[in-house]
Every structure is written in C-alpha cells, then in structure tokens.
Amino acid sequence: MKVLCILYDDPKGGMPKNYPLAELPKLTGYPDGQTLPTPENIDFNPGELLGCVSGELGLRKFLEENGHELVVTSDKDGDNCEANHHIKDADVVISQPFFPFYLTREKIDSAKNLKLAITAGIGSDHVDLQAAMDNNIDVFEVTYCNSRSVAEHIVMMILSLVRDYHNQHRIVNEGGWNIADAVQRSYDVEGMHIGTVAAGRIGLDALRKMKPFDVHLHYFDRHRLPESIEKELNLTFHETVESMVAVCDVVTINCPLHPETENLFDTELINKMKKGAYIVNTARGKICNREAIASALKSGQLSGYAGDVWFPQPAPNDHIWRTMPNHGMTPHTSGTSLSAQTRYAAGVREILECFMGNKEVRNEYTIVKDGKLAGTGAHSYSEGSATSGSEEAQKYKKM
C-alpha cells in the first residue's frame, strides 16, 4: 500500500532541538463524552512538531514496519508538483486543512488506486466530496481533535480585534508610546452582542468561553440546540443568518464550507450587519467574499476582520487580505497548535489501523462512506464540491 502525505514545510531554522513545555496537560476526553483518539500505539512524543514534513505525523515507523510505502511532501501545487506525481498510484492520501492538497475531480480521476482520503484535522472541503462519492473513495477526518484549539483562537481574535491589540503591539515594537493612537479604536467586549454562524463543536465552545465576559450570545444553525443549552447560556436562536448579523457587534463563522455556504458573506449580507461590526472567521476563507470583506473594512461597514482561513491556501502573496486595513489575519494556525497536533496525528494513526485491519472507522470520523455522505459528513455537508479555484494556490511564493 502506498500512502501519500502532504504536510506543511519544516521551520526555516530546522526542527526544534527542544520545546517550551516539557509535557502536555493530560486530557480525559471531549466535553460531549467522545473519547480522544485511541490508536493501538504511537511512535512520537506528545507535544512535538508533527504536522510538518519532517514530523511525518509520526507514521513512518508504523507504516514501513507493516510493509507499506510512505511518501511525505510539501510540494502540492501546480501540474508538475510532487504530490500530483504520487497521487496517480497512491492507495491513501493524507492532507491537512492548514496546508491543503486540493483533491479535485481531475486528481481523483487520475488516482486509479485511491481508496481513502484522510484529513489530518477537521474540515474536508479541500476534497471534492462529490467526486469522492462518484468514485467510491471513502473520506475520514479526525473530528473534534482540534475543535477546542480553534475555539480558543476565536476568543483570542475577538478580544484582539475589539481591544485593537495588534495596533498597540505595533506601536511598542516601533518604539512609540502615543496612548491616544493606541486606544482610539479600542473598546470593551463587555455588553456586546456576540453571534456564531453554526453552533457545532467549535461554535458552541466559543460561546461558552465568551459567556464569562458578560456578553449577549446569539446563534444561527440549521440544527437548533437543545432548550437546556439555550437556557444555560441565555442564548438567542435566529431562524436566519440575516436576523442574527443585524443585531450582533461580533460575528464568528464556524460552519463547514460546502456549496450552500460558499460566498455566504458577500456584499449584500455584510451590508445587513450592524455598522462597525467585527467578523472572526476560523471556518473557511471561501465562506467570505474576499473583495467584499476588504471593501467593507475600507468603508467602515466592518471595524475589523480576523481570519485564520484563506482561499486558496497558502494564499497568493498579493492576496488582498494581507494588506487590507484593520485585519488580524493568521496563516491557518488555530487548529495546529502542538497540543492539537498530538491529537490529530493519533487520530490519523487510529484511522489507518482500522483501515489496515478491516475494522470500522468511528462514525464521528466519517465524511464519505460507500459512495455517499455518512456520519459527520451527512450532518455537516451537502452534496457537491467547493474546490473550484484552488489552482490559484500555485501563485504563492515562499519568502
């Protein structure tokens, strides 16, 4: 069996000789009772850098000792990239949302041996799910492995935007001390109305983490939460996204990308938001129209936009979101902390162990199975594809 694994580049200075923390906190499970990944074994030290090329998700020893071939590369974009060469005879492909190998219909059609696509993380929109269904390729992801990591990132971004932290930090780094410049866009989050588009694992956790700040909480989701949770959080449900964004000071986007959510935040929807509102997007870049976001920041319709996700990824160097005003962009790092890497590497190992042992993969990890959406995929996605335009990723040049 040939396994192709596409991971992001190693640190520019080489792999770390040591790490800030000697060990990770011990977690016993996820809030809803789901267990953490349970592979039979792991061949890495928790807390190490596993998501880059040299980290190899800790898989090489396991796969090679079982007689399988592992190819790991970061060369993923353009017709002549290494990943395109190896996909043609790969049985399994592993990719990450942070550095996605866009598994388009064209690539799937060229991969005659492909049986399984694994997302090392959560969110499998970089796979043409419709093409996977049509070609009977199963798709799995490590559901919940980094959801809480992303929720922490959301809280960080909300506070950083509203308090205008990035500007204040820049002033210090530049040797300045003009307090008026530092606070002219800075507010308290207390009393604001905070809403999430989708209240699944990430969205709901973000709401829980924001509640102690004494804010008003709102949500829109096609699956309404139990009444007990709404009462616990004093949470207002909205039947439409338009209803919610009209009353919120901060909107955080936490829905999957699929044909129904692609380009959801366009000029029309943004103009229905409160003037001066903030958007935090750790879901997928393609849910927001890039030109509409930049224009709204320039006009003042939006006071700030903090996104951890782009389209495509890596974003071209001239992507307008790199230079638009009042942004707090990060390079899709919310779900790949060293803590999260331990969980998603272990989850990938668990999925491979099941696949190689002809055992059922957890229903929570299942996106596409036997030619149709299944498990988490049936709950979260719709049929179709959202990979169009991904070829633009080849325009990114390493600096």
Kindly report the CATH number assigned to the domain that includes residue 369: 3.40.50.720
The token duo for 218 is 């709102």
**Residue 113 annotated to the active site:** no
208 burial (CB, 10 Å; 0-12 / 13-18 / 19+) is middle
Could you tell me which residues are annotated as the binding site for NAD(+)?
147, 201-202, 221, 256-260, 282, 308, 332-335, 380
If asked whether residues 108 and 151 sit together in one domain, one would say no
**Residue 146 annotated to the active site:** yes
- What's the mean pLDDT when you consider all of the chain? 95
If asked whether residues 155 and 290 sit together in one domain, one would say yes
In a domain, residue 10? The reply is yes
Catalytic one among 126, 148, 319, 332?
332
Could you tell me which residues are annotated as the binding site for substrate?
122, 146
SS3 191: coil
> In angstroms, rounded to a whole number, what is the distance separating the alpha carbons of residues 137 and 145?
23
> In angstroms, rounded to a whole number, what is the distance separating the alpha carbons of residues 261 and 246?
18
User: Residue 212 pLDDT > 90, yes or no?
Assistant: yes
Q: How many CB atoms lie within 10 A of CB 30?
A: 18
In a domain, residue 6? The reply is yes
SS3 72: strand
If asked whether residues 297 and 152 sit together in one domain, one would say yes
If asked whether residues 79 and 8 sit together in one domain, one would say yes
If asked whether residues 172 and 305 sit together in one domain, one would say yes
Check residue 27 and give its pLDDT.
94
Dihedral sign of CA atoms 154, 382, 144, 210 in order: positive
Least confident of 86-95, 319-328, 348-357, 377-386: 377-386
> In angstroms, rounded to a whole number, what is the distance separating the alpha carbons of residues 326 and 323?
9
If asked whether residues 27 and 162 sit together in one domain, one would say no
In a domain, residue 16? The reply is yes
Q: Which helix (H) or strand (E) holds 114?
A: none
Instruction: Say how many CA atoms lie within 13 Å of 82 toward its Cβ.
Output: 9
In a domain, residue 37? The reply is yes
| Count: domains in the chain | 2
If asked whether residues 304 and 174 sit together in one domain, one would say yes
Could you tell me which residues are annotated as the binding site?
122, 146-147, 201-202, 221, 256-260, 282, 308, 332-335, 380
If asked whether residues 223 and 119 sit together in one domain, one would say no
Catalytic one among 313, 341, 343, 362?
313
Dihedral sign of CA atoms 266, 390, 305, 257 in order: positive
In a domain, residue 40? The reply is yes
Check residue 392 and give its pLDDT.
76
In a domain, residue 394? The reply is no
Instruction: State how far the alpha carbon of 165 is from the alpha carbons of 4, 11, 150, 213, in Å.
Output: 41, 26, 19, 17
Amino acid at site 186:
S
131, 256 Cβ separation under 8 angstroms: no
pLDDT digits (tens, 9 = 90+) for 229-259: 999 999 999 999 999 999 999 999 999 888 8
Q: Are strands 2-6 and 92-95 parallel, antiparallel or unpaired?
A: parallel
pLDDT band at 399 (very low <50, low <70, confident <90, very high): low
Q: At how many degrees (to 10) do helices 147-162 and 165-173 cross?
A: 70
If asked whether residues 114 and 135 sit together in one domain, one would say yes
- The domain of 12 spans 2-145+336-373
Stated length of the chain: 399
Catalytic one among 84, 96, 130, 146?
146
If asked whether residues 68 and 114 sit together in one domain, one would say yes
Residue linked to tokens 């103009």: 271
If asked whether residues 125 and 192 sit together in one domain, one would say no
SS3 6: strand
Catalytic one among 126, 153, 284, 343?
284
**Residue 184 annotated to the active site:** no
Q: Which strands form 372-373's sheet, in the order they lie side by side?
A: 69-73, 2-6, 92-95, 116-119, 138-141, 366-369, 372-373
If asked whether residues 193 and 113 sit together in one domain, one would say no
pLDDT digits (tens, 9 = 90+) for 184-206: 999 999 999 999 999 999 999 99
In a domain, residue 399? The reply is no
Can you give the pTM of this predicted structure?
0.94
